[in-house]
């Protein structure tokens, strides 16, 4: 789909301004942040950084997701290269990859999907450098190895070493947005078992996570012997039964990718239903509150990263829908979200180092609660690249349109 034809002059100019701002800020930050990677901005608007090597795990009862955003910085450097044509960005991205690559062997987290779909996969796509494909395939092997088989199906365990039962029995909604690594690997390695693992997870998540209200749990704990749901709960949302908006955006994103990878319309329709629930709850703004059930609404904080993820997913949905009318509808929704982000959330001031202000990483943990977050910036840029540089940052092979199955 040629999204550019759908843009007004104002939208085009706003979106191009955002891409140019990305280039300016990224070059400045790359020169000053050293070997660590940005993840959330502090109260003054400066990036807080972490080494790429920090893995996920438990410290007693406390859980840390580790550094799951390092690949996104590489992705932004690649997007800057696309935008500016400057070779320096590729050189920096190569240097950064050396720090990120060891995480391909990280057996502690589902987030290696995020890490390598944001870095090695587009790096290989843009340059043909085989090293990056090999790295991404190693990571995909690790992700596939997280598949836990139960009598009710297989799911990918999200958190922690598989030897730790707390993580082994748990799955999170964000795993859905890590599946594209498996789908990419299925095509690259010509090994359908990657796709089967991803689809199995998507099926089990459909049964276990999606509530009658059309919203998703953040996490589900399974009984490992039966595969039955032990409980649905939250880690980063307001409450176990609440509507954590970023989780919903991850689900929309993941089911869209699953539709593309499997060629099955049922997943695209599910992504559409989840997106409808998400859109229905909006209060006139295109950027949701961090959790739609926070009693502080209308004074609750918003989450621009949820909007960015949803926009990127909706643009992809638009390309997959077999009927042009449906496709145009989702493209329109995605573009409208980007318009709102550019108009009201873009961090034009130099002191604020992120691209999108007013994201919420984790309210319950008091971390990055009204700041820029690296993944928000990345998915914002991914969405813009779908419009201006199609087939670059994200480009899942689509089996839809090559014989849609019911």
Beta bridge partners of 362: 367
233-249: b (≥16 Cβ within 10 Å) or e = ebbbbbeeebbbbbbbb
Q: SS3 for 154-215, per residue?
A: EEECCECCCCCHHHHCEEEHHHHHHCHHHHHHHHHCCCHHHHHHHHHHHHHHHHHHECCCCC
Beta carbon nearer to ligand GLY, 81 or 246? 246
Among 43, 65, 60, 358, which residue's Cα sits nearest to residue 236? 65
Shortest CB 344 distance to ligand GLY, Å: 22
Q: Does 65 bind ligand GLY (CB under 6 A)?
A: yes
Give the dihedral of Cα atoms 186, 191, 195, 198; nearest 10 deg: -90
Cα(44)–Cα(37) distance, rounded to whole angstroms?
A: 18
Beta carbon nearer to ligand GLY, 15 or 159? 159
Q: Does 333 bind ligand GLY (CB under 6 A)?
A: no
Beta carbon nearer to ligand GLY, 234 or 236? 236
Beta carbon nearer to ligand GLY, 126 or 313? 313
Beta strands in 98-210 (DSSP E): 147-150, 153-156, 170-172
Give residue number: closest CB to ligand GLY: 174
Cα(112)–Cα(105) distance, rounded to whole angstroms?
A: 9
Interface residue with ligand GLY among 67, 216, 236, 258 (CB under 6 A) is 236
> Among residue numbers 237 through 266, which ones bind ligand GLY (CB under 6 A)?
246
Applying CB under 6 A, the site for ligand GLY has a residue count of: 4
Cis bond before residue 298 (omega within 30° of 0): yes
Cα(305)–Cα(307) distance, rounded to whole angstroms?
A: 5
Cα(137)–Cα(154) distance, rounded to whole angstroms?
A: 21
Q: Does 216 bind ligand GLY (CB under 6 A)?
A: no
Residue whose tokens read 């039966």: 226
Shortest CB 41 distance to ligand GLY, Å: 15
Beta carbon nearer to ligand GLY, 174 or 333? 174
Shortest CB 247 distance to ligand GLY, Å: 7
Interface residue with ligand GLY among 36, 101, 174, 333 (CB under 6 A) is 174
Shortest CB 351 distance to ligand GLY, Å: 25
Beta carbon nearer to ligand GLY, 11 or 67? 67
Among 175, 185, 169, which residue's Cα sits nearest to residue 229? 169
Per-residue CA distances from 394 to 123, 174, 239 (Å) = 11, 17, 32
What does the per-residue mask of binding to ligand GLY show for 82-101, with x meaning CB under 6 A?
--------------------
Shortest CB 123 distance to ligand GLY, Å: 22
Beta carbon nearer to ligand GLY, 246 or 399? 246
Beta carbon nearer to ligand GLY, 15 or 68? 68
> Among residue numbers 299 through 318, which ones bind ligand GLY (CB under 6 A)?
none
Per DSSP, helices labelled H in 281-370 are: 304-320, 324-344
Residue 370: both structure tokens together: 């009204």
Binding site for ligand GLY (CB under 6 A): 65, 174, 236, 246
């Amino acid at each position: 789909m040629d999204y550019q034809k759908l843009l007004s002059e104002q939208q085009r100019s706003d979106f191009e301004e955002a891409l140019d701002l990305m280039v300016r800020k990224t070059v400045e930050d790359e020169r000053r942040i050293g070997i660590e990677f940005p993840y959330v901005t502090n109260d003054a608007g400066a990036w807080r950084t972490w080494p790429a090597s920090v893995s996920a795990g438990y410290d007693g009862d406390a859980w840390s997701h580790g550094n799951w955003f390092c690949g996104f910085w590489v992705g932004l450097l690649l997007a800057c290269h696309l935008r500016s044509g400057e070779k320096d960005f590729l050189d920096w991205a190569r240097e950064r990859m050396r720090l990120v690559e060891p995480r391909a062997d990280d057996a502690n987290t589902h987030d290696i999907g995020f890490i390598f779909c944001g870095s090695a996969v587009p790096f290989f796509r843009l340059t043909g450098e085989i090293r990056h494909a090999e790295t991404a395939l190693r990571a995909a092997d690790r992700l596939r190895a997280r598949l836990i088989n139960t009598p009710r199906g297989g799911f990918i365990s999200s958190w922690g070493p598989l030897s730790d039962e707390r993580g082994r029995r748990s799955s999170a909604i964000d795993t859905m947005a890590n599946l594209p690594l498996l789908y990419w690997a299925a095509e690259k390695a010509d090994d359908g078992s990657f796709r089967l693992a991803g689809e199995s997870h998507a099926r089990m998540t459909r049964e276990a996570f999606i509530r009658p209200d059309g919203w998703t749990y953040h996490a589900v704990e399974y009984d490992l012997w039966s595969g039955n749901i032990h409980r649905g709960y939250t880690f980063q949302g307001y409450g176990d039964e609440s509507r954590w908006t970023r989780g919903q955006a991850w689900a929309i994103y993941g089911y869209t990718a699953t539709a593309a990878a499997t060629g099955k319309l049922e997943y695209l329709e599910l992504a559409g239903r989840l997106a409808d629930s998400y859109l229905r709850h909006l209060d006139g703004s295109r950027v949701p509150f961090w959790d739609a059930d926070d009693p502080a609404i209308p004074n609750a904080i918003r989450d621009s990263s949820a909007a960015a993820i949803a926009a990127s997913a909706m643009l992809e949905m638009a390309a997959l829908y077999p009927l042009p009318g449906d496709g145009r509808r989702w493209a329109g929704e995605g573009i409208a979200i980007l318009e709102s982000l550019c108009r009201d959330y873009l961090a034009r001031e130099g002191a604020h180092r992120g691209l999108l202000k007013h994201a919420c990483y984790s309210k319950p943990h008091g971390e990055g609660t009204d700041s820029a977050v690296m993944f928000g910036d990345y998915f914002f840029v991914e969405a813009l690249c779908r419009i201006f540089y199609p087939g670059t940052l994200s480009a899942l092979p689509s089996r839809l349109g090559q014989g849609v199955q019911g």
